[in-house]
Homo-oligomer: A and B are copies of this chain.
Amino acid sequence: MDSGNSGGARPPRTRRKMQRVTMSDVAKAAAVSPSTVSLFLRKPSAVSERIASRVQRSIDELGYVPNYVAGGLAAAGSKVVSVIVPSLRNAFFSETVAELERLLARGGLQTLVGHTEYSLDQEEALVRAALSWAPAAVVLTGCRHNAATRKLLLRSNTPVVEMWELGGQVIDQAVGFSHEQVGRHIARRFIDQGYESAAFIGARLDEDFRAAQRSEGFLAEMQEAGITARLVENSAPASTSNGVRLFEEVCMNPVRAIACSNDTLALGVLFEAQRRDLSIPTELALAGFGDLDFAAQMVPPLTTVRPAADKIARKVAECILRPQAETDRQNSPFPTEHDTGFTLVPRASG
């Protein structure tokens, strides 16, 4: 957006855009050629010590900062990884993004984040934008995407990692676990403890496919055991206050055990139960998902499921940093799944 410097006779001010210090500036200052500087930057050992120190000094003096944009263009492939998650407000994802950012940075890669607010169309837009950076890889959340997104990704030939979910139609690589199994495990625990009525509390199940799968697993396992279990949900975000709200709804028709689509909701249930003088687990068993930091501190501590969040991040980073040998990819162009598993953490709440 260059406001046209209408060519009046007036001498424009000194420098409207202080020229960026470029590699050749450094080269000039160090009395070497640009490519020597470039070489020094990428492989310092390949340059004689004398020149190296001269170049380094010029870099410092001029305050040179390499231009990745130009570098990326020349090298045909930028140093960005685009990470797309449903929401950064969700602790799982902010945690994963943080860890990924850290790990990828070590490999010299920068992280571009996007969040879809659980919209597949928004995801498509973000993928499109991401691909515009010729990214080293694209990391997506889950295996559900719209057709356009999938096509875009496939055509681009960019490495793609789908995380936090397994079981769908994988594009390239997937790292995660089965949420249906999570639901079943929790149900199984309730069943083994002999509860005869239960509910699954879920937020945003229409958009949060993984939470939906947990609910389905839970309900299915319950049904197979012949136990009455119902689903109570709404489309508000998963939050403590929403947990309160959903629990109030459950209370209109009480049950003995409640599984929440995540710990944050469970926290709300706990508070509301306290307010109603409902004793946990005596009168009501409670389970969550996530094992967020507060879960173990709750009174009583919350039974929940711990996903291997850090393992997911590490595995994703690994997929990106150490791509499979090219030959492997050619020979086995089939998508790969990495199961990171999860752990049921039994505590006093149910």
Contact = CB atoms under 8 A, between A and B. Distances in A.
A156 B64 CA distance: 9
A345 interface: no
A78 interface: yes
Interface residues of A, number: 92
Contact of A70 (B73, B114, B239): B73
Given A267-B294, A338-B1, A67 B132 contact: yes
Interface stretch (A5-13, A214-222, A254-262): A5-13
Nearest to A12: B333
A115 B133 contact: no
Contacts of A14: 330, 333
A73 B131 CA distance: 16
Interface string A1-33: 111110110111111111010000000000000
Contacts of A239: 293-294
Contacts of A293: 239-241, 264
Contacts of A336: 2, 4-5
Nearest to A65: B131
Interface stretch (A50-58, A197-205, A226-234, A296-304): A296-304
Interface string A59-100: 000010111111011001010100000011101001101100
A134 interface: yes
**Residue of A72, A243, A298 contacting most chain B CB atoms (<10 Å):** A72
A294 B151 contact: no
A91 B293 CA distance: 13
A13 B328 contact: yes
Nearest to A274: B299
Contacts of A213: none
A3 B337 contact: yes
A346 interface: no
A123 to B, nearest CB: 13
A63 B151 contact: yes
A348 to B, nearest CB: 12
Contacts of A195: none
A112 interface: yes
A65 B271 contact: no
A69 to B, nearest CB: 4
Nearest to A332: B4
Contact of A298 (B18, B271, B296, B329): B271
16 contacts: A4-B337, A5-B336, A13-B333, A20-B134, A63-B152, A65-B128, A65-B131, A67-B73, A88-B88, A97-B113, A110-B112, A112-B113, A239-B293, A239-B294, A240-B293, A271-B299
Interface of A: 1-5, 7-8, 10-18, 20, 63, 65-70, 72-73, 76, 78, 80, 87-89, 91, 94-95, 97-98, 101-102, 105, 110-115, 117, 128-129, 131-134, 151-152, 154-157, 169-170, 239-241, 243-244, 264, 267-268, 271-272, 274-275, 293-294, 296-299, 326, 328-330, 332-339, 341
Given A8-B335, A111-B114, 4 more contacts: A4-B332, A101-B115, A102-B115, A110-B129
Query: Sorted from nearest, which 4 A-B pairs have the closest CB atoms?
Result: A12-B333, A240-B294, A88-B98, A94-B94
